[in-house]
Amino acid sequence: MESDRVKNIVIVGGGTAGWMSAAALSKLMPEHQGNVTLVESEEIGTVGVGEATIPQIATFNQRLGIHEDDFIRATQATFKLGIEFVDWAKKGDRYFHPFGTHGFDLEGIEFHHFWNKLRERGDARSIEDYSINAAAAYSDKFIRPQSEHGPIINKLGYAFHFDAILYAKFLRKFSERNGAKRIEGKVEQVNLRSDNGFIESIRLADGQVIKGDLFIDCTGFRGLLIEEALQTGYIDWSQYLPVDSAVAVPCEKRGEPIPYTRSTAREAGWQWRIPLQHRTGNGYVYCSQYQSKDEAEKTLLSNLDGKPLASPKHLRFKTGRRKKFWSKNCVAIGLSAGFMEPLESTSIHLIQSGISKLIALFPDKSMNPVERDEYNRLLNVGYAHIRDFLILHYTLTERDDSDFWNYVRTMKIPKTLQRKMALIQSRGRFFKYDDELFNITSWMAVAIGQGYTPKGYNPMVDSLSDDNIIQSLANIRMSIDKAVEAMPTQQAFIDRFCRAQDVYTTAGES
């Protein structure tokens, strides 16, 4: 049934979501078999933030055949080994959420049980001391792990910080090379079919009508197609994640970029610091119920480590997700699908996940509800797991120095998270459900980092003698120290392999 085939894919929106979708679909769909058209409006512009990622992005690049160093050079990217959380558990406190793993499992038992046994015996070392990522991050070191580097460096996990505007530009070039067509224009009307309510076409301000079989809504928070036209509905999670505003500003960089993101808790939210090759990205995500726009801007500007390079940009959002990510012949990807604060840099990953699931369940023109439901089910589950992990950061705080922290410290949390926390508390038990994104290292890093250390350990640990455990853990620490010592600094690595052109303009204008 050739006539059933989806031939015209129309992507509305040219931010990170739009161009990631265009890149993947144009690569997948040879020109003679279909058209990928992307409509974007320079007048409206993009959200312009979203610069920290998680390691899974490497898979996206690989699938597209993008060479990592090309991508780094084009986007002024740096490497990210994890996130440092400052003042989260309480003021003056810090911990590191690393990519990669903590130590090594021994005798089939997860590493943190051994660490916890020694801790209970009075060993004051932090679990971070067993993370190659944390050690490299705090020494400003980086190396791309390769098999010949041996088991310790091979545990190093990494992602990137990049300039969001440059990333969209980079993917635009890639997509256009693969046959995607870009149309500049503002969508003014969405036309629905009278028989089944599917989107038939969009009309631009200049009168152009663009028809499609499948529409990808990448129009950002407003969800021009999925919500304004199809009225899909939104599930609000702000009772769990109450921040609803952000103010962002790039600033001049100070010294060499560090290979990690920093998240510093402030009075009514938290501030990010994302180091790039040419500048530093900063933003303050806060709850408008507890702090005004002006106060938030002041807080951000007084906590920059360089001169601002632009005027601060204010954003508003509602945490949650669409009731359906895929409705009729429209799939929402990116901010139009939902949004959770960027505390763990998950939004770009959710874009990637949406694209790969769409490809795995690629429809024909009839948009079979079975496939649509499966897509929605898989994404619902993915969003909910991430939501729970984000809530963990707040619910574990001890801070009581502001109304905001008092609210999040005492708020009700979802049952799914309660169960996970109870298991962690009970001797550090952890099971990954439904292919969920964050693994045991992430959960333990945040839980232990915020003082929610498991009570006890798997009693199986006692099958190894204390001396044996002490020796094994000392060996791990020693190997990490040695490996980090031998690594180049991140700057040296970048200079050697992937240095971007120097820019002397304001961020985004290069």
Partner 1 sequence: MGNSIEAWLPAAYCCARLPSDDYQIILAETKGNTGGSDGDIVAKPSSKNLHHVLDIAEHDLGSKAHARPALAASIAIDNGLHIDLPFGHYGIDREGIEFQHLWKYSGSQKPLSEFNLALAMHKASVFLPEPPKGAPVYNYGYMLQEEGYINLLKSKARATHITADNITLQQSNGAIDKVICDGESLKADLYIDARHYNYAATNTNVTYTDGNAWQHNHLRITGGFDMLDHQSGMRLHRIQMAMERLFKLWPDREFAAVEIAEYNRLEASQSLHINDMNLLLQQQTQGCSNTLARKIKLFETRGRIAIEDYEIYSKAEWIAAFCAMGINAKNYDRLAHRINSDTLAQWIEQLQVAITNVIEQLSDKK
Ligand X SMILES: Cc1cc2nc3c(=O)[nH]c(=O)nc-3n(C[C@H](O)[C@H](O)[C@H](O)COP(=O)(O)OP(=O)(O)OC[C@H]3O[C@@H](n4cnc5c(N)ncnc54)[C@H](O)[C@@H]3O)c2cc1C
| CA-derived radius of gyration, the chain | 23
Tell whether residue 63 is a contact of partner 1 (CB under 8 A): yes
Told to check if 284 binds ligand X by CB under 6 A, we report no
Residue 29 touches ligand X, criterion: CB under 6 A:
no
Please list every residue from 243 through 262 that binds ligand X, using CB under 6 A.
Answer: 246, 248
Rounded to whole angstroms, how far apart are CA atoms 55 and 53?
7
**Does position 17 bind ligand X by CB under 6 A?**
yes
The distance from CA 410 to its chain's CA centroid, rounded to whole angstroms, is: 26
Question: Which one among 62, 189, 196, 463 touches partner 1, defined by CB under 8 A?
Answer: 463
Residues 231-250 that bind partner 1 (CB under 8 A): none
Considering only the stretches 99-107, 322-330, 346-354, 494-502, report the one whose residues sit in contact with ligand X under the rule CB under 6 A. Answer: 346-354
DSSP, residue by residue, 272-311: EEEE-SS-EEEEEEE-TTTS-HHHHHHHHHTT-SS-BSS-
| Near ligand X in 84-103, by CB under 6 A | none
Q: Tell me if 460 contacts partner 1 by CB under 8 A.
A: yes
* Residue 15 binds ligand X (CB under 6 A): yes
Q: Which is nearer to ligand X, 133 or 453 (CB)?
A: 133
DSSP 367-415: --HHHHHHHHHHHHHHHHHHHHHHHHHHHT----SSHHHHHHHHS---H
Catalytic, 80? Answer yes
The interface mask with partner 1, positions 343-382, x = CB under 8 A, is ----------------xxxxxx---x-xx-xx--x-----
Q: If you write DSSP's letter for every residue of 295-352 in order, what string do you get?
A: HHHHHHHTT-SS-BSS--EEEE---EEES-SEETTEEE-GGGTEE--GGG--HHHHHH
Residue from 147, 311, 431, 504 that binds partner 1 (CB under 8 A)?
A: 431
**Annotated catalytic residue within 27, 80, 155, 324:** 80
Q: Which of the 8 DSSP states describes residue 149? A: G
Beta bridge partners of 219: none
427 binds, among partner 1, ligand X, none (CB under 5 to 8 A by kind): partner 1
Q: Which residues bind ligand X (CB under 6 A)?
A: 12-18, 39-41, 44-47, 49-53, 164, 186-187, 218-220, 224, 246, 248, 283, 285, 315, 317, 334-336, 342, 345, 347-348, 351
**Would you name the residues annotated as active-site residues?**
80
Q: Which residues bind partner 1 (CB under 8 A)?
A: 1, 4-6, 28-30, 33, 63, 107-108, 359-364, 368, 370-371, 373-374, 377, 419, 422-423, 426-427, 429, 431, 433-435, 456, 458-460, 462-463
